[in-house]
Amino acid sequence: MEIRFHKYQGTGNDFILIDDRELQFPDDLTVIETLCHRRFGIGADGLILIRNHPEYDFEMVYYNSDGSQSMCGNGSRCAVHFAKSLGMATNRTTFMSTDGPHEATIKEDIVSVQLYDVDSVEELTDGVFINTGSPHHIAFLEDVKNFPVVPEGKAIRFSEAYAPKGTNVNFVELEDGNAIFVRTYERGVEGETLSCGTGVTACSLAASLKGYKSPVIVHTLGGTLEVSFAVKEGGFSDIFLKGPATPVYSGLIDV
Ligand SMILES: N[C@@H](CCC[C@H](N)C(=O)O)C(=O)O
């Protein structure tokens, strides 16, 4: 069967987007793994199916490149852009994702997605753990640009402390001007991505524990994002992840 796909990227976190309103996409995880493979497929960090939903403008069904599922912040921003191009969303939209319904706004290529309140922050001896829809270990370091993100991230991701589900792992450098620089090892991609939306959100919240104020400017290898939030007793509310979502190309695949 021939299916049209759309390739998107949000600060370098790249996704295959498919209009699956007719529910035609095969129920087969090996298809997802192959399509996301950078040599045997299209190549992407994840794949997103856009479907109708009875209560919201649309549903996004997110898969990491290995076929596992979780909430994806950058993927959500790309999904909103794509759903708008399909006429399923306007400049203000609500959609269903892996962790429940979300609100978002879009102005040209800039998409802002609201994430769920964070009610607990775990301060650890080697960092901070925050769940922003997906789980994130956050370590503050210097010279993150030259840090061995893959071996160090992998060791924490597969450590006993996070077994059996594992975690994403973020390495953060505090910068001047209320900004941070983040590199992320992503669970389900099993490597470093150029940006991780729920990850940079978790890092911004963790930076607020060190005196950083909303909105935090986040530099990643793939571009710049902005995270705004309000501090509440034991956690955070009104959390928004904002940045560019960009269509790259579209094509046809046989699945
Ligand atoms: N890239 C994503 C996060 C996707 C989910 C993550 N890899 C996990 O399995 O927890 C983002 O932008 O948030």
DSSP assignments along 69-87, one per residue: ----HHHHHHHHHHHHHTT
Per-residue tokens: 169: 């792992």
Which CATH number is correct for 2-115+245-254, 3.10.310.10, 3.40.50.920, 3.40.640.10, 3.40.50.1820? 3.10.310.10
Looking at the chain, the domain(s) classified CATH 3.10.310.10 span 2-115+245-254, 122-241
CA 103 from chain centre, in angstroms, equals 15
Quote the CA–CA distance of 4 and 17 in Å, as a whole number.
9
Quote the CA–CA distance of 33 and 93 in Å, as a whole number.
30
Per-residue pLDDT, 5: 98
Q: Is 187 annotated as a binding residue?
A: yes
Per-residue pLDDT, 223: 98
User: Catalytic site residue 203?
Assistant: no
Burial class (CB in 10 A: 0-12, 13-18, 19+), 23: exposed
Residues 71, 189: contact at Cβ < 8 Å?
A: no
Sign of CA dihedral 233, 229, 143, 38: positive
Q: Is 197 annotated as a binding residue?
A: yes
Q: Is pTM, for the whole model, over 0.90?
A: yes
Say yes or no: CB of residue 64 within 6 Å of ligand 1.
yes
| Closest residue by CA, ligand 1 atom 2 | 72
CA of 198 relative to ligand 1 center, distance in Å: 6
Q: What 3-state DSSP class applies to 200?
A: helix
CA of 77 relative to ligand 1 center, distance in Å: 12
Q: Is domain 122-241 in CATH 3.40.640.10, yes or no? A: no
Quote the CA–CA distance of 206 and 78 in Å, as a whole number.
25
Say yes or no: CB of residue 74 within 6 Å of ligand 1.
yes
* Count of H-run helices and E-run strands, the chain: 4, 17
- Residue tagged 């994702």 (tokens): 97
Residue 10 backbone zone (phi > 0: left; psi -120 to 50: alpha; other: beta): beta
Residues 130, 141: contact at Cβ < 8 Å?
A: no
Residue 173 backbone zone (phi > 0: left; psi -120 to 50: alpha; other: beta): beta
User: Catalytic site residue 36?
Assistant: no
Cross-strand partners of 103: 94
Say yes or no: CB of residue 97 within 6 Å of ligand 1.
no
Quote the CA–CA distance of 151 and 134 in Å, as a whole number.
21
> Which residue type does 91 have?
N
Per-residue tokens: 192: 């470093």
Count the alpha carbons within 13 Å of 62 in the hemisphere toward its beta carbon. 27
Say yes or no: CB of residue 133 within 6 Å of ligand 1.
no
CA of 213 relative to ligand 1 center, distance in Å: 24
Complex confidence, ipTM? 0.97
Length of the chain: 255
Per-residue pLDDT, 208: 98
Quote the CA–CA distance of 75 and 212 in Å, as a whole number.
26
Per-residue pLDDT, 249: 98
Q: Is 21 annotated as a binding residue?
A: no
Quote the CA–CA distance of 246 and 8 in Å, as a whole number.
6
pLDDT by residue for the chain (255 residues), tens only, comes to 999 999 999 999 999 999 999 999 999 999 999 999 999 999 999 999 999 999 999 999 999 999 999 999 999 999 999 999 999 999 999 999 999 999 999 999 999 999 999 999 999 999 999 999 999 999 999 999 999 999 999 999 999 999 999 999 999 999 999 999 999 999 999 999 999 999 999 999 999 999 999 999 999 999 999 999 999 999 999 999 999 999 999 999 999
Q: Among residues 36, 72, 78, 203, which one is catalytic?
A: 72
Q: Is 186 annotated as a binding residue?
A: yes
Say yes or no: CB of residue 70 within 6 Å of ligand 1.
yes
